[in-house]
Amino acid sequence: MTKIDKNELEYHVKRAQWLRAAVLGANDGLVSTASLMMGVCAVKPEARTMVLSGLAGLVGGACSMAIGEFVSVCTQLDVELSQIKRDKAGDEKEKGLPNPFQAASASALAFSAGAVVPLLSGAFIEDHWVRIGVVVAASSVALVVFGAVGACFGKSAVVKASVRVLLGGWAAMLVTYGVLRLFATFGI
């Protein structure tokens, strides 16, 4: 077994955290926006309504991700600063501390990048069923790509990760569509 020095281990841990946040943000943006669009189109077939709901999902979700990441990283920073004060190690440890603003920006950007896929794929298609098919198809391709990219960066099984991400996305879209279709069917 190969020994990894402390600096290399810290690099891998930071890369894994960055990768987790980027993949989570992009995947969440894609799945939540596509699911929201599917749910809305289950009740209202108009393209404008579906696109507006997707846009609202993109903006609201990106803000939510940014705020959540900011609060999370601020909490992490507070804990690390408290530990540094207790250790009295000061200067050398403070260089690698997390940046809440950077994390919030990256999270919002990753979410937005994912949300743009279903939003743009359905924006210019009038036919209800064709629009649903295009949104699902474009989202499916992006989900497979996100799963593969995450696996490549993490040096794990590409097919397994891609299938897991794809099936999770499909489940979210299907459940959202189904639940809202029930509401429409029963006139709720």
- Residue-wise pLDDT tens digits, 30-72: 999 999 999 999 999 899 999 999 999 999 999 998 898 889 8
Centre a 10 Å sphere on the Cβ of residue 150 and count the other Cβ atoms it contains. Answer: 22
Residue 186: band (very low, low, confident or very high) from pLDDT cuts 50, 70, 90: confident
Residue 1 lies in a domain: no
Rounded distance between C-alpha atoms, residue 11 and residue 103, angstroms: 17
CA 107 vs. chain centroid, Å, equals 8
From its phi and psi, is residue 127 left (phi > 0), alpha (psi between -120 and 50) or beta? beta
Rounded distance between C-alpha atoms, residue 176 and residue 111, angstroms: 19
Residue 13 lies in a domain: no
Residue 15 lies in a domain: no
In sequence order, which residues have a C-beta less than 8 Å from that of residue 32 and are 6 or more positions away?
57, 61, 115, 172
Percent of the chain with pLDDT over 70: 87
Residue 187 lies in a domain: no
The pLDDT, as a whole number, for residue 112 is: 94
pLDDT tens figures, 17-33: 677 777 788 999 999 99
Residue 72 lies in a domain: yes
Least confident span in 53-62, 96-105, 118-127: 96-105
Residue 158: band (very low, low, confident or very high) from pLDDT cuts 50, 70, 90: very high
Per the structure, the count of domains in the chain is: 1
Rounded distance between C-alpha atoms, residue 53 and residue 137, angstroms: 19
Residue 66 lies in a domain: yes
Residue 16 lies in a domain: no
Residue 89: band (very low, low, confident or very high) from pLDDT cuts 50, 70, 90: low
Residue 185 lies in a domain: no
Q: Which residue has the higher pLDDT, 11 or 116?
A: 116
